[in-house]
């Protein structure tokens, strides 16, 4: 495979990933995107829309979780080169995001709406801060590995593609899953909660809580006592006194 193709393939995947993140931020904020979570009028059956939207969130989450499993990666890399596995995952994520957005059924019925200017500004600031923290978390275990560029570059330089290493400091010394935590919190941080937004928020929260159990089972299988010690030391989502120690470990890039 030509080196130029590898770099172009991974580079486009990175750009798509950045655009994908930006669109999801705008989609959930209900602002700044061609179609957002509350775009359009709703005239259908509300329960049918709730089921469709819940399945869309479930499908989006399952893509992230299934492709993160060690068994899937072993099977998948029989067809996709290891150095392009992560980049290919990003193309798949872009497709799943497009599917979620296009098929999403808006249910704009208002549950609550905060209109005080200072409160709206505070909630929007919180929302953007959550996404900023999630993005910052990718640098702790290798931002360019997380988005597939490092693996492509290692291949071009004819070096062995290695796993991602991180030291459980900073965010990862406070909670074990800052990105997953962000996915749970972000949909709730809105000054205008609609039924559609509630469906997304509740579905995402429930899914992350369930998926994390399977993710941690994989990590325990892979790292054994080291990860068990890390889990005993650092809470999963809620910061606490246990999150003060530093634990060093190796961990594959997480997809959640």
Whether residue 232 has pLDDT greater than 70 = yes
Beta strands 165-168; 110-113: pairing state:
unpaired
Mean pLDDT for the stretch of residues 180-208: 96
Among candidate residues 152, 153, 156, 209, the one with its CA nearest the CA of residue 185: 209
The answer to which of 10-24, 78-92, 157-171, 177-191 has the lowest mean pLDDT is 157-171
Whether residue 247 has pLDDT greater than 50 = no
User: Angle 3-29/117-140 helices, nearest 10 degrees?
Assistant: 160
Q: What does the pLDDT read at residue 170?
A: 77
Give the integer Cα–Cα distance in Å for 17 and 176: 23
Q: What does the pLDDT read at residue 162?
A: 62
The answer to which of 53-57, 198-202, 217-221 has the lowest mean pLDDT is 217-221
Q: What does the pLDDT read at residue 221?
A: 82
CA dihedral 43, 47, 48, 50 (to 10 degrees): 100
Q: What does the pLDDT read at residue 107?
A: 94
Among candidate residues 101, 117, 69, the one with its CA nearest the CA of residue 196: 101
Query: Within 30-177, where are the H helices?
Result: 46-68, 70-76, 82-103, 117-140, 143-146, 149-156, 171-174
Per domain, the residue ranges of the chain are: 3-245
Token pair recorded at residue 75: 């099977």
Mean pLDDT for the stretch of residues 127-153: 90
Q: What does the pLDDT read at residue 154?
A: 87
Each residue's pLDDT tens digit, 157-186: 877 666 555 356 678 888 889 999 999 999
Q: Which residue has the tokens 């709703």?
A: 42
Give the integer Cα–Cα distance in Å for 37 and 130: 18
Give the integer Cα–Cα distance in Å for 131 and 22: 10
CA end-to-end span of the chain: 30
Cβ neighbours around 125 below 10 Å, total: 11
Mean pLDDT for the stretch of residues 44-64: 92
Share of residues in the chain with pLDDT > 90 (%)? 54
- If pLDDT is split at 50, 70 and 90, which confidence band does 201 have? very high
Residues 6+ apart with CB under 8 A from 158: none
Which is more confident, 116 or 153? Answer: 116
Each residue's pLDDT tens digit, 21-49: 999 999 999 999 999 999 877 777 899 99
Among candidate residues 47, 62, 42, 56, the one with its CA nearest the CA of residue 101: 56
Whether residue 251 has pLDDT greater than 60 = no
């Amino acid at each position: 495979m030509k080196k130029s193709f590898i770099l172009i393939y991974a580079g486009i995947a990175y750009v798509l990933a950045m655009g994908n993140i930006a669109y999801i931020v705008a989609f959930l904020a209900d602002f700044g995107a061609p179609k957002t979570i509350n775009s359009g009028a709703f005239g259908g059956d509300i329960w049918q829309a709730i089921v469709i939207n819940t399945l869309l969130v479930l499908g989006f989450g399952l893509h992230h979780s299934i492709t993160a499993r060690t068994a899937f990666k072993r099977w998948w890399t029989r067809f996709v080169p290891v150095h392009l596995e992560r980049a290919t995952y990003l193309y798949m994520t872009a497709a799943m995001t497009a599917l979620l957005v296009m098929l999403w059924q808006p249910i704009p019925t208002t549950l609550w709406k905060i209109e005080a200017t200072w409160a709206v500004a505070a909630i929007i600031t919180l929302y953007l801060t959550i996404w900023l923290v999630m993005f910052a978390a990718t640098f702790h275990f290798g931002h360019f590995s997380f988005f597939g560029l490092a693996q492509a570059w290692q291949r071009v330089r004819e070096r062995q593609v290695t796993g991602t290493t991180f030291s459980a400091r900073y965010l990862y010394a406070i909670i074990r899953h800052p990105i997953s935590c962000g996915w749970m919190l972000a949909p709730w941080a809105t000054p205008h909660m609609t039924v559609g937004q509630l469906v997304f928020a509740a579905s995402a929260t429930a899914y992350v809580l369930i998926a994390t159990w399977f993710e941690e089972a994989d990590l325990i299988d892979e790292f054994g006592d080291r990860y068990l010690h890390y889990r005993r030391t650092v809470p999963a989502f809620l910061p606490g006194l246990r999150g003060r120690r530093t634990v060093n470990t190796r961990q594959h890039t997480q997809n959640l």
